[in-house]
Amino acid sequence: MTANGPRSVLLAGGGTAGHVSPLLALADCLGRRYPGIRLTALGTAAGLEARLVPERGYPLLEVPKVPFPRRPSGDLLRLPGNLRRAVRAAEHAIDSTAAEVVVGFGGYVSTPAYLAARRHGTPVVVHEQNARPGLANRLGARVAAGVGVTFPGTALPRATVTGMPLRREISTLDRMARRAEARAHFGLAHAPTVLVTGGSLGAQRLNEAFAGAAAALSAAGVQVLHVAGTGKEFVPEGASGAPYVVLPYCDRMDLAYAAADLVVARSGANTVCELTAVGLPAVYVPLPIGNGEQRLNAAAVIAAGGGLLVDDARVSAAWVDEVVRPLALDPARLATMATASASVGERGGDELLADLVVAAAAGGR
């Protein structure tokens, strides 16, 4: 710990953008606060972090992926050995970086990081993105010096509501000021615009529904920017009117949000927090699997009137035409929803979580 802040921080998280995005946002914030701080990410070779972390300019140290099976399987028999190897790799990362704090964001990578930090006596800070915490962060919170949560009411001990750490380009976004630039960037026109995204991995249900409705949306003058997921791209047949742009992945979500009037998306915590921070109305379609956290993630913005919640089973081409198309063509309703969405948004989550990291470093020395 220096007079200005911690000298080295190890950030553990990966697998999907939901873990990687807040990790990078916190790293950026700490780097702005403390020039010269050593920031290292801990992740797997197969996760999204393997590409996104180095692209952002941070070193990535790898740990083996340790799946926690929910039912008896071969993975269950291999769990003890896999976990030991992952903990050893995490211990090596703590040693080699001289980390003063380990920050975990949940998922496969965080459990071995928490166990390694406890063995080393290194302070832990946990950030839980979802309203309902996962297994890794329930474990980490028991030994953590600080616990940040995105949503009030998240059941973790000694939790501080920090909101979601957001990338600077999102937290400072002025959608209206960037709209013309954003639409030009994606080859869109000046027309009602729907952004469709299933997250970094895509969402087959959304892809199929909008592919089936592409012609009707285009003919009605509704243009679509559709982030389909890598390997899940499609050609929007019959879209001969308003543009229908399909991307496998979008590295400029700030511009995607600036281009959009309405979003149709899963309700992962990062998605919900980004959309409310920038004040975008949305139709949220929670994943039909998991522990129900995606429905809870969207609860506050739905209650405020900033979005609609739709069950995955209802989503079809006919539903897009009956529900999404008229909503996209109703600017007065969208303006009301946008105000409501912004009313529950938090743009300073990175700074609040950084405060917990600094306090943990100070207390650990």
Q: Which residue has the tokens 């105000």?
A: 339
For residue range 191-205, what is the model confidence (pLDDT) as tens digits? 999 999 987 566 899
Q: Which distant-in-sequence residues (6+ apart) come within 8 Å of 72 by Cβ?
A: none
The reported pTM is: 0.85
Per-residue confidence (pLDDT) for residue 360, from 0 to 100: 96
Per-residue confidence (pLDDT) for residue 96, from 0 to 100: 97
For residue range 113-138, what is the model confidence (pLDDT) as tens digits? 999 999 999 999 999 999 999 889 99
By 3-state DSSP, what share of the chain in percent is helix, strand and coil, each rounded to 5?
Answer: 45, 15, 40
Length of the chain: 365
Residue 33 CB-half CA count within 13 A: 22
Q: Which residue has the tokens 């009301």?
A: 336
Phi, psi of 160 (to 5 degrees): -115, 130
Per-residue confidence (pLDDT) for residue 299, from 0 to 100: 95
Per-residue confidence (pLDDT) for residue 48, from 0 to 100: 84
Per-residue confidence (pLDDT) for residue 238, from 0 to 100: 94
DSSP H helices, 63-191, are 74-97, 110-120, 135-141, 168-171, 175-186
Specify binding-site residues: 16-18, 130, 167, 200, 294
For residue 271, CA distances in Å to 47, 165, 294 come to: 18, 12, 10
d(CA 86, CA 92) in angstroms, rounded, equals 10
Sign of CA dihedral 99, 100, 106, 108: positive
Q: Which distant-in-sequence residues (6+ apart) come within 8 Å of 364 by Cβ?
A: 1, 100, 101, 121, 122, 123, 145
Specify binding-site residues for UDP-N-acetyl-alpha-D-glucosamine: 16-18, 130, 167, 200, 294
Per-residue confidence (pLDDT) for residue 161, from 0 to 100: 95
Residue ranges in the chain whose pLDDT is less than 50: none
Residue among 347, 187, 349, 218 at smallest CA distance from 278? 347
